[in-house]
Amino acid sequence: MPLLSVRDLQVDFTTRNGRITAVNGIGFDVEPGQITAIIGESGSGKSVACYSLLGLLPTPPASIERGSAVFDGRDLLQMSERELREIRGRDIAMIFQDPMTCLNPYMTVGNQLVEPLIYHRKVTRAQARERALELLAEVGLRDPQATIDQYPHQFSGGMRQRVMIAMALINEPRLLIADEPTTALDVTIQAQILELIAELQRKRNIGVIFISHDLSVVADIADEIVVMEKGHVVERGDRQAIFQAAEHPYTQKLLAAIPAGSKPPADAAREDLIQVRNLCTWFSQGRGAEPLRAVDDVSFTVQRGEVLGLVGESGSGKSTIGRSLLRLVPVTSGEVLFDGTDVTGLAGAGLKQMRRRMQMIFQDPYASLNPRMSVYDTLAEPLLLHGIATRKTVEQGVLQLMDDVGLARAFVRKYPHEFSGGQRQRIAIGRALATRPEFVVADEPVSALDVTIQAQILELMLELGREYGLTMLFVSHDLAVVRHIADRILVLYKGRVVEQGTGDALFNAPKEDYTRQLLQAIPGRGLL
């Protein structure tokens, strides 16, 4: 008998523009001791479906129209708030996407951890703390005794997610709902967390619902896969069936979006556009403390028209290199020659001139666009600032950019919040290309996006790179993504270059342990 059996679930939202059916008559089962993955892009209704089971959706605007969700012989959807609360956190626990925002910043992790235990099991504080320490050790936190009384901001993203997992498991639930638990993490950390979830699940023999936008993430762990599109379940099957014999076109699209393969090798050698020699960027950590050597004696060149990939985990210095090249952070020592000119010494008009030729695309298109400027204003600003267009020609220039990045001209007066994540990243790319730069630093431009959107944006960047004759530094934590777009790849670890080569060379014959580790971390590598 399944642990959870959802049938014919429909969830509507009342919005200003009328009623929207977010989840439209879906059904799935979760067996005890098995992982059921629900896969779909943002807006497909996968999270809404799971939140509605636990009464975690605000009603209104949401309303559960029909359906049943039988857990342990009782229908969750018919329970009172009080009965549901008894089950939440005790029998069914949740892990959320962003470990940075899901822990209370004002409480120590220990106090947050023991809360569900004390509330549901009526144990003493001391007993709860004892149990919390055991669990923290089990989820792999170093030195729980010392860290249990720290605040969330003192932990890294991966460690916070481990705390979240410990918190979810503290009452030994029978069902765990994990909502994109690794999406906000680096690939290497993601691999560790996936392994941890799978291991804890086997050991406890619990049922898991794993929600993700990325099929490759669940490739190694899911027993059953449910694919959702626009509120409907379009395909269901075991892992084998989905990965080897997907029938629905949407599932096939999701599979195709998984970055695979590498870019064909570039033609003949070209001249160097950028030469970086012994670049060091150190950050002061306060008086007397050793400076943080974010970038430590790094040298490389970028050829004209080339896409150079920079790969490494958080803290490897990959973003700092990009920022140093553009002089967005002060360089400690070393040279950055751009077309023969040392950028590190530039100031005033010379720097402004150089900035026009070098641009940046940021990771988070939500944060990097000014919410109070329309697309038109965002794109017109660099055109006017650098004298590329005059008042008369600026409209034409803006519309041209809209065409280039694949946005409908009709959207030109809209504001960033009216766009989806992928569309916003298109705006950000348009903004970067407005000055007709020769060199672009793309800092994790696709890691905040769904896989399907990610594939589209990568395609767009490759296309525009050719069209504009761009030289690009592509920064990412994800080796599979970089391999897809870059001609050559530098692997960074703790501020130093540990290995470099073409994508194929790194994939087929990695020389360094660290590169091997990164390769190991790529989700679903066995299937590709």
Partner 1 sequence: MWRFIAGRLLQAIPVILAVITVTFFLVRVAPGGPFDSEKAVIPEVKAALEAQYRLDLPLGQQYFAYLQDLARGELGPSFKYPGRSVNELIAAGLPATAELGAYALLVAVVLGGLAGVVASLKPNSAQDYIPMSVAMIGICMPTFLLGPLLVLLFGIHLEWLPVAGWGDIPGDKILPSLTLGAAYAAYIARLSRAGMLEVMSQDYIRTARAKGLPEWQVVTRHALRGGLIPVVAFLGPAFAGLLAGSFVVETIFQIPGLGRFYVQAAFNRDYTMILGTTVFLSTLIVLFNLLSDILAAWLNPRLRAQYGEA
Residue ranges in contact with partner 1 by CB under 8 A: 54, 56, 85-90, 93-94, 96, 98, 101-107, 115-116, 119-120, 151, 153-154, 164, 167, 286
DSSP result, 317-380? SHHHHHHHHTTSS---EEEEEETTEEGGG--HHHHHHHHHHEEEE-S-TTTSS-TTS-HHHHHH
- CB 516, CB 508: distance < 8 Å: no
Residue owning tokens 């605007």: 61
Three-state DSSP class for residue 293: strand
Task: State in angstroms the smallest separation of the CB of 107 from partner 1.
Answer: 7
Task: State in angstroms the smallest separation of the CB of 100 from partner 1.
Answer: 9
Which of 45, 44, 7, 52 minimizes the C-alpha distance to 26? 7
Task: State in angstroms the smallest separation of the CB of 61 from partner 1.
Answer: 12
Task: State in angstroms the smallest separation of the CB of 62 from partner 1.
Answer: 13
**DSSP single-letter state for residue 232:** E
Taking the least distance from each CB to partner 1, the nearer of 120 and 162 is 120
Three-state DSSP class for residue 21: strand
Task: State in angstroms the smallest separation of the CB of 266 from partner 1.
Answer: 44
Taking the least distance from each CB to partner 1, the nearer of 96 and 300 is 96
Task: State in angstroms the smallest separation of the CB of 333 from partner 1.
Answer: 26
Instruction: Read off the amino acid at residue 296.
Output: D
Burial of 321 (0-12, 13-18, 19+ CB in 10 A): buried
Taking the least distance from each CB to partner 1, the nearer of 91 and 377 is 91
Task: State in angstroms the smallest separation of the CB of 18 from partner 1.
Answer: 19
**DSSP single-letter state for residue 290:** P
Taking the least distance from each CB to partner 1, the nearer of 115 and 377 is 115
* Rounded (to 5) percent helix, strand, coil in the chain: 40, 25, 35
Task: State in angstroms the smallest separation of the CB of 365 from partner 1.
Answer: 20
Taking the least distance from each CB to partner 1, the nearer of 176 and 227 is 176
Taking the least distance from each CB to partner 1, the nearer of 106 and 240 is 106
Alpha-carbon dihedral 194, 196, 198, 199, rounded to 10 degrees: 160
Taking the least distance from each CB to partner 1, the nearer of 176 and 480 is 176
- CB 277, CB 335: distance < 8 Å: yes
Residue owning tokens 């998984």: 258
**DSSP single-letter state for residue 240:** H
Taking the least distance from each CB to partner 1, the nearer of 116 and 523 is 116
Task: State in angstroms the smallest separation of the CB of 88 from partner 1.
Answer: 4
Listed as own residue / partner, the contacts of 426-430 with beta carbons closer than 8 Å and 24 or more positions apart are: 426/457, 426/460, 427/365, 427/369, 427/375, 427/378, 427/379, 428/361, 428/362, 428/365, 428/368, 428/369, 429/361, 429/405, 429/457, 429/460, 429/461, 429/464, 430/379, 430/401, 430/402, 430/404, 430/405
Taking the least distance from each CB to partner 1, the nearer of 153 and 203 is 153
Taking the least distance from each CB to partner 1, the nearer of 112 and 251 is 112
Task: State in angstroms the smallest separation of the CB of 139 from partner 1.
Answer: 16
Three-state DSSP class for residue 4: strand
Taking the least distance from each CB to partner 1, the nearer of 88 and 213 is 88
Element (H, E) at 226: strand 224-229
Taking the least distance from each CB to partner 1, the nearer of 155 and 243 is 155
Taking the least distance from each CB to partner 1, the nearer of 103 and 358 is 103
Task: State in angstroms the smallest separation of the CB of 58 from partner 1.
Answer: 10
Do the strands 4-15 and 207-212 form a parallel or antiparallel pair, or are they unpaired?
unpaired
Task: State in angstroms the smallest separation of the CB of 417 from partner 1.
Answer: 15
Do the strands 272-283 and 292-303 form a parallel or antiparallel pair, or are they unpaired?
antiparallel
Task: State in angstroms the smallest separation of the CB of 23 from partner 1.
Answer: 18
| Alpha carbons 286 and 314: distance in angstroms, whole number | 22
| Alpha carbons 3 and 82: distance in angstroms, whole number | 21
Residues forming beta bridges with residue 471, ordered by sequence position:
439
**DSSP single-letter state for residue 88:** B
- C-alpha triplet 431, 435, 439: angle, nearest 5°: 95
| Alpha carbons 110 and 148: distance in angstroms, whole number | 5
Task: State in angstroms the smallest separation of the CB of 236 from partner 1.
Answer: 26
Taking the least distance from each CB to partner 1, the nearer of 149 and 247 is 149
